[in-house]
Chains A and B, each alone.
Chain A
């Protein structure tokens, strides 16, 4: 695939043909293993589900080689699937917005500390992110369970128990908890690059604090906000562990349906699952492009 190659440092010398050939061989050797792996075990699997999405599901969970568009039609007409898309996108949106609202002030506070404190505080935000996602979700199970920590505390002070686990609220808390560091880091990076004297300039020119923030600081830190939002939004919408453990069977997200279509339901329906996964990827891509377009417009 690589026909022209030249080391970056040196200018390509046309007279040294053997050298060029050797460089080409070297490049091929460097590139081949990774390219092979990514094409065979990443790109090809995506092609396989694209293929499956147009095939007919068989009665025993097998796949029948008959072309059909039924899978896509089912996705867009059956309430179960349409609702799952809408709910997942909605939960993703709420999680992203809440993360944004709580991460921005936190990042701002960290930036304004002295360098030594800054590193420590940032590190403290990172530690939970380095721990296993399952473990973090499980921690919320013990806190929110019917005989869990919060309910024990409520009872101790004489208040009635509350149903906290297996609710949409529990799923949201789990998701926000899991994704928060992804929002703090990019926002921190862009606030750190922000020149605070610009706020002084804005207020010297008569802008109120709120106006100075909205018209100067927010637009200039938008790249961090945009990056953080995408980093939070993508994994949130595709979740199935958090919604499974904290939402019970009550809060069905796309991930839960996908998991069931591929492994649990009787019989499994891989063609429909494949179509669902692909449409999900497409919807996500469109949402992200749309988001980046609107945020960069605000930039100007």
Chain B
């Protein structure tokens, strides 16, 4: 993801000359950038620091304690919500990765009528405001549950299933984008070579194509997993009463009262996100 495509040496030389000439400009830029990094990291540092404070209002650093982390373990609601979040993230990641990979193959390897429309349909979930999508899904579920009840008499309710369905609808597009990128740099002659050597389509896919695009698929899956773990808005509107997810639980606790316990759970969530980023960076480095 972060790949500095270094340009020609000539540019660096010119830039260096310009830099010497306008030293104070660089200094100003450096100062600005330093302030920006402080702006970016100060809240995170404060958040982590105050998860260890003994002050129960979380306003002062009165002493050091691990007790807030201990209390997390006693909060059954929070733990239940964490398991729900994990379940949703795992199921939706697996399904959206499979569906998205298939779709990426179709979009990259075939020309067909309506391809541009499918492309548009794929990009819409990325650009549409999340809250509009969330409300539309809420309305859709209520609407179709009403119809189902009228026809079959069965009463369906919003639950983890509706959250999973919604997360998949949201994640497919992101998986497709990432997997398509890995298919673009793919040398198709390798597949032709395999087929010339007598491999059928199935063997060619599993022995040649799949291993080569695997880093892209893993990248897409990690993205889908992170999006699902972090999602608040869509989960908030598509979950049922009584089924909470971690971000929703944090939101409702924050609305009630600010305590260092929320800092503790936030710090843990922070650690998980960072581990995932580290993992995806590692996978991408393996690719090179």
Contact = CB atoms under 8 A, between A and B. Distances in A.
Interface of A: 1-9, 23, 26-27, 29-31, 33-35, 37-39, 41-46, 48-49, 52, 102, 105-106, 108-110, 112, 115, 118-119, 121-128, 130-136, 138-143, 145, 147-149, 152, 177, 180, 192-193, 195-197, 199-200, 209, 234-235, 237-238, 240-241, 245, 255, 258-259, 262-263, 270, 273-274, 277-278, 280-281, 284
B220 interface: no
A102 B35 CA distance: 10
Contacts of A128: 40-41, 44
B130 A123 contact: no
B132 A135 contact: no
B93 interface: no
B86 interface: no
B109 interface: yes
A45 B140 contact: yes
Interface stretch (B68-76, B148-156, B208-216, B273-281): B273-281
Interface residues on B, range: 35 or more
Contacts of B270: 131-132, 135
A281 B40 contact: no
B181 interface: no
A43 B184 CA distance: 28
Interface of B: 1-7, 10-11, 14-15, 18-19, 22, 26, 29-30, 32-33, 36-37, 39-44, 46-47, 50, 57-60, 98-100, 102-103, 105-106, 108-114, 118, 121-122, 124-125, 127-133, 135-140, 142-143, 165-166, 168-169, 172-173, 176, 188, 191-192, 201, 226, 229-230, 232-233, 237, 247, 250-251, 254-255, 258, 262-263, 266, 269-270, 273-274, 276-277, 281
B139 A52 contact: yes
Contacts of A9: 109, 188, 191-192
Given A46-B136, A127-B277, A192 B7 contact: yes
22 contacts: A2-B113, A2-B114, A23-B110, A26-B201, A30-B110, A31-B106, A35-B118, A35-B121, A37-B172, A38-B125, A43-B121, A45-B137, A48-B139, A106-B33, A123-B281, A128-B44, A134-B250, A135-B270, A138-B250, A143-B43, A235-B129, A274-B139
A195 to B, nearest CB: 7
Nearest to A241: B232
A212 B254 CA distance: 49
A56 B7 CA distance: 60
Contact of A27 (B14, B110, B232): B110
Contacts of A280: 129, 132
Contacts of B132: 238, 277-278, 280-281
Contact of A37 (B99, B138, B266): B99
Nearest to B98: A33
Given A5-B112, A44-B140, A37 B250 contact: no
A290 B111 CA distance: 32
Contacts of B230: 132-133
A4 B112 contact: yes
Contacts of A199: 18
B33 A109 contact: yes
B11 A197 contact: yes
A196 B13 CA distance: 10
A177 B36 CA distance: 10
Contacts of A41: 137, 140, 165-166, 168-169
Contact of A109 (B30, B113, B277): B30
A259 B60 CA distance: 34
Closest 3 CB pairs of A and B: A238-B129, A45-B140, A34-B103
Contacts of A102: 32, 36
A262 B135 contact: yes
Contacts of B37: 124
B265 to A, nearest CB: 9
A209 B18 CA distance: 11
A23 B110 CA distance: 9
